[in-house]
């Protein structure tokens, strides 16, 4: 007997480390390799949003290239999806948020390797970016496999709760899509119940295939690949800002 309860065991075996309250700020994994540490020191300051200043009224000012839209990805993990989409859409400005230091370092390497000029990053809690962004400024939002927090008593730590939906509604343009993927049925049901109660979003699905089929051009993320290996499958929800 270790005295460890179910929740503690879940945390130890895979759920993210705890921090203060609903989110835990910056997180570190293994020591960064020298190339990545160098990028954190040299590139991140140029690419990082400056939340100490008010956001520009027109977000195009954040990017050194001409862009037609701004897309936001929250919790980009290793940055596979962000890199792919930013490469495919050089005329879209991307804001990527990831609090895990090793993920941000990987993303910096991919930005450099692919010569991406249309990406800006935030390496702490994404909630601060959501608060900072001007109203109706984002054309698309990706929330791909947010931390599942499967235990009932941890549900309030889930990113996509009632309050966050209202905050996201503020920053999304009318007609903008919130694209949410999860492999956890209970998180899907939790999010759908909240979207159904929200006057700001509609779920666009008409048939089962709509949420079982990934979005066009989809390539699996690192987390999704792990979920598939473990026998779970992803579901892909598109919520439209009304
Ligand atoms: C389960 S992982 C999925 C990563 C990636 N989207 C994928 O599919 O491979 C969730 C990620 O969201 C990040 N994250 C969770 N809450 C966050 C927050 N409030 N701000 C920034 N990043 C966050 C975590 O650090 C983690 O890398």
Specify the CATH number for the domain of residue 204. 3.40.50.150
* pLDDT on residue 145: 98
* pLDDT on residue 29: 79
d(CA 49, CA 126): 11
Determine whether the annotation assigns residue 183 to a binding site: yes
* pLDDT on residue 26: 59
Residue 92 inside a domain? The answer is: yes
Q: Whole domain around residue 109: which residue ranges? A: 49-241
* pLDDT on residue 27: 75
Longest pairwise C-alpha distance within the chain: 61
Provide Rg for the chain, Cα atoms: 18
Active site residues: 147
Measured in Å, residue 2 CA sits from the centre of ligand 1 at 30
SS3 letters across 137-175: CEEEEEEECCCCCCCHHHHHHCCCCHHHHHHHHHHEEEE
Measured in Å, residue 46 CA sits from the centre of ligand 1 at 22
- State how far the alpha carbon of 193 is from the alpha carbons of 25, 177, 235, in Å: 27, 18, 15
Residues of the chain where predicted confidence (pLDDT) is lower than 50: 1-22
Residue 7 inside a domain? The answer is: no
Predicted complex ipTM exceeds 0.90: yes
Residue 30 inside a domain? The answer is: no
Q: pLDDT tens digit string along 32-47?
A: 989 999 999 999 999 9
- For ligand 1, atom 16, the nearest C-alpha belongs to 75
Please count the structural domains in the chain.
Answer: 1
* pLDDT on residue 198: 97
d(CA 6, CA 143): 27
Paired tokens of 44: 């991140």
Atom number in ligand 1 closest to CA 223: 9
């Amino acid at each position: 007997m270790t005295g460890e309860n179910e929740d503690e065991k879940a945390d130890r075996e895979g759920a993210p480390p705890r921090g203060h309250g609903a989110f835990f700020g910056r997180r570190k994994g293994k020591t960064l390799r020298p190339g990545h540490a160098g990028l954190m020191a040299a590139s991140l300051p140029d690419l990082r949003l400056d939340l100490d200043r008010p956001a520009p009224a027109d977000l195009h000012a954040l990017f050194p290239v001409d862009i037609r839209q701004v897309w936001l990805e929250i919790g980009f993990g290793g940055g596979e999806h962000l890199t792919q989409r930013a490469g495919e859409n050089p005329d879209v400005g991307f804001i990527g948020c990831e609090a895990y230091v090793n993920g941000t370092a990987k993303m910096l390497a991919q930005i450099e390797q692919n010569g991406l000029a249309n990406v800006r990053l935030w390496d702490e809690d994404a909630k601060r970016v959501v608060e900072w962004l001007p109203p109706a400024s984002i054309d698309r939002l990706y929330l791909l496999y947010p931390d599942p927090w499967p235990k009932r008593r941890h549900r309030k730590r889930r990113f996509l709760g009632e309050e966050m939906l209202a905050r996201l509604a503020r920053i999304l343009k009318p007609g903008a899509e919130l694209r949410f993927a999860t492999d956890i049925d209970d998180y899907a049901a939790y999010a759908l119940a909240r979207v159904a109660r929200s006057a700001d979003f509609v779920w666009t699905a008409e048939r089962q295939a709509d949420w079982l089929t990934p979005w066009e051009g989809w390539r699996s993320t690192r987390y999704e690949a792990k979920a598939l290996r473990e026998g779970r499958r992803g579901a892909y929800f598109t919520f439209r800002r009304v």
